[in-house]
Chains A and B, each alone.
Chain A
């Protein structure tokens, strides 16, 4: 991860009039958002509120119907943006024919990671997969696959971590390990955007963003928000 002091200038993430439509249905209404370097943000909202759509568009997996995304001044999906962004999906994807260790090797090398072996060993230790390093993740249970995906997301350098429903299928040890990794990445200066239904983790973030029906209904400190109401899609104006 980069030193926060070395990254100055444009916002970590700048979103302008970002829209996603599927036919007549709007998954995300025009959205404007600025995220500063090093911020730790939680994104909440009910099912279908647009969280995953937003995260996937920021990661470059989905194309916006309109609007723009800038990551440290680079267009989303560009090589520079891809080098900066690590995406931890709610649906881990692996090659059927590569072991966990081989996945870690290739992802690290594709991202020019120095000393990746030691980092990989440390991560496998943290998520509890040291003994399964040579197994095929495609044969793992849901929780183990999620742990392998966590190791893959953290083994490479990144400046912006995009996370979608990271706690699904994780046991208590895995949850604590993941929270520690978030904390560590944040300390190292990375920007974190975590979409979740897990409201108990909201308090550790500095900023809360809530979506409902594809629209932004809250953007501010978690302490000022009625998290339960926001999660159900009830904004402040609705009260």
Chain B
């Protein structure tokens, strides 16, 4: 690469950086940083108070040092698995399409061009995971020996290594053009091996050769707050080597996936900016190259075109089942994994720290997002919906039947996982798993239904009667931010109602609690169904009420 090219590239980037900095609203940035820091600190303080029981009282420091590295090593193995999958799907780098068209198609060495985005990817991933692990480290410090600072530093180091493993393995998989299936197999072998090591050591078998996994040394770094071993430096060296290899492989990244990712990521950023959950989910699936199966599972040929006339509910349910039968294996696997995580986290919430309830919340919310495909498809195609001679609310409600069925299966998987961890939880787990899964799905359902366009009679004007395109907002600006935050958080808050039964069982683990929880969830679901069925009619009535008020005002003021 000639110095002319280097200079041109440097000038291009500098010009753009200066322009970006010039366009930045610094007060706005400072305010966001302040909010983020305040929220983060509050969350950390609350979590610190709730940490009690995170590590069992019977676990000694020696136990922790013997068992811990294999268990934390699983996180590294999972990072490697996810990295390999990401690389096989064209990740982990995303650059602007304009850069691909104008810079990567120019006669310039691509390795030099890619150094910066690859370096940024390493930096951001290692920093964010290091930050999370450092926070977790200082939580751990509350329950075991060692200073908070030492645990936090060890956590930061461990998180940084996890980030380096993720990005490095992704870059290697991308540059070597690893097929998706082989990335999955390789990653699964690593995770399986490390999980076997963790299980072996957890069971107290300290002599089996299986007690060492491929990431045990990496896992040991998390415990450098109280024990530093020279041999663990091998893990650090390996992570540094991964970063180096990743930077060197920049010239071998492929344009086709880079261009595809570039387009999708720019759409994804926009969707995230406008807090469009459904679009974010869709684009993330496209990033993973997930498409619906051309042939559904258990396909027995095309259905007869002239079958007997069926009722609307039956048709909609059948359509929903067909949709779910087209889910790709990776998505079904994810549903199964989320169910397992939810079940294990629920069991740990009852027996260990209440913080594990956050794991349940994440699992049941994401489960809901994954299973409501039929409803989402209907909402994504409003023209098709409005052309049907069926009330839209009724149609949406019937679309919940098939996902509800799939959530029953997921709930049972979660209950089985909870039972495997604590067999004494079996009765409660199987009684509450399905209601919890259903309650968890209410958030994603509400988010999806809110994305549906307003009914035609209410779509053109705002509540004040002004044309919608001429009045930006009905609420004053002081409340607009709060209103936005509320509408963004509301789905999560609704899903959080799903963890109430688990927290209740933590306090009073008896049949009465289970029955009360069941009734509570039933009321929540009934409310959801009523809201979906009637929201259009309510919107029209509210509009009419305001219109009448305006008419009376005009009539009253006329002499």
Are A and B a genuine interacting pair, yes or no?
A: yes
Known contacts: A61-B255, A61-B256, A63-B256. The answer to whether A107 contacts B16 by CB under 8 A is no
Whether A109 lies near B105 (C-beta < 8 A) is: no
Chain A's closest residue to B109 (CB) is A79
| Neighbouring A residues of B255 by C-beta, 8 Å | 60-63, 77
Could you tell me the distance in whole angstroms from the C-beta of A163 to the nearest C-beta in chain B?
A: 14
Cross-interface CB contact of A111 among B96, B101, B107, cutoff 8 Å:
B107
Seen from chain B, the residues whose Cβ lies within 8 Å of a Cβ on chain A are 2, 4-5, 7-9, 11-12, 15-16, 19-20, 23, 96-98, 100-103, 105-109, 254-256, 259
| Cross-chain pairs A/B with CB under 8 angstroms, 30 sampled | A60-B105, A61-B100, A61-B259, A62-B255, A62-B256, A63-B255, A79-B107, A79-B108, A80-B107, A82-B106, A83-B107, A87-B105, A89-B101, A93-B97, A93-B98, A93-B100, A93-B101, A95-B96, A97-B20, A97-B23, A102-B15, A106-B11, A106-B102, A109-B11, A110-B103, A110-B108, A111-B106, A111-B107, A112-B4, A152-B102
Is B5's CB under 8 angstroms from A110's CB? Answer: yes
CA gap between A77 and B16 in the complex, in Å: 26
Closest Cβ of chain A: how far from B355's Cβ, in Å? 42
Which residue of A has the minimal Cβ distance to B7? A109
A110 touches B106 (CB 8 A): yes
Within 8 A of B (CB), among A43-72: 59-63
Instruction: Given A79-B108, A80-B107, A98-B16, answer yes or no on A110-B256 (Cβ-Cβ < 8 Å).
Output: no
Interface 0/1 of A88-113, CB less than 8 Å to B: 01000111011000110011011110
Binding site for B on A (CB under 8 A): 59-63, 77, 79-80, 82-83, 85, 87, 89, 93-95, 97-98, 102-103, 106-107, 109-112, 152
Write the chain B residue with the least CB distance to A94: B98
Question: Which of chain B's residues have a CB closer than 8 A to the CB of A103?
Answer: 102
Pick the most buried of B11, B96, B101: most chain A CB atoms within 10 A of its CB: B101
Q: Name 6 extra pairs, CB < 8 A, besides A59-B105, A106-B8, A106-B12.
A: A63-B255, A80-B107, A87-B101, A95-B102, A98-B15, A107-B102
**Residues of B contacting A94 with CB < 8 Å?**
98
**Contact partners of B11 in chain A: CB under 8 A:** 106, 109
Q: Which of B11, B12, B100, B105 has the most CB of A within 10 A?
A: B105
Compute how far the CA of A60 lies from the CA of B124 in the bound complex, rounded to whole angstroms. Answer: 30
Query: B96 — which chain A residues lie within 8 A by C-beta?
Result: 95
Residues of B within 8 A of A112 (CB): 2, 4-5, 107
Collect the chain A residues with CB atoms within 8 Å of residue B259's CB. 61
**Complex contacts, B100 vs chain A, CB 8 Å:** 61, 93
A57, closest chain B residue (CB): B256
> In the docked arrangement, what's the CA distance between A196 and B106, Å?
25
Nearest A-chain residue to B105, judged by Cβ: A82
Residues of B within 8 A of A85 (CB): 105
Give Cα A31–Cα B109 distance, bound, in whole angstroms. Answer: 30
- On chain B, the residues within 8 Å of A60 by CB distance are 105, 255
Least CB distance, A110 to chain B, in whole angstroms: 4
The interface residues of chain A lying within 8 Å CB-to-CB of B106 are: 82, 107, 110-111
Q: Which residues of B contact A83 (CB under 8 A)?
A: 107
| Contact yes or no, A97 B8, CB < 8 A | no
B117 to chain A, nearest CB (A): 15
- Across the interface, which residues of B come within 8 angstroms of A106, CB to CB? 8, 11-12, 102
Name the CB-closest residue of B to A106: B12
Chain A residue at minimum C-beta to C-beta distance from B266: A96
* Chain B residues within an 8 Å CB radius of A110: 5, 8-9, 12, 102-103, 106-108
Q: How far is the CB of A58 from chain B (nearest CB, A)?
A: 12
Q: How far is the CA of A152 from the CA of B5 in the complex (A)?
A: 17
4 closest A-B pairs by beta carbon, nearest first, are A109-B8, A83-B107, A110-B106, A95-B98
Q: How far is the CA of A62 from the CA of B254 in the complex (A)?
A: 9
The answer for the CA separation of A63 and B253 in the assembled complex, in Å, is: 12
B16 pairs with A95, CB closer than 8 A? yes
Specify which of B9, B97, B107, B256 lies most central, judged by the most chain A CB atoms within 10 Å of its CB.
B107
- Cα distance, A85 to B7, chains bound together (Å): 22
A73 CB, min distance to chain B CBs, angstroms: 15
Pair B102/A109 contact, Cβ less than 8 Å: no
How near does chain A come to B1, taking the closest CB pair, in angstroms?
A: 9
Decide if A97 touches B19 in the complex (CB within 8 Å): yes
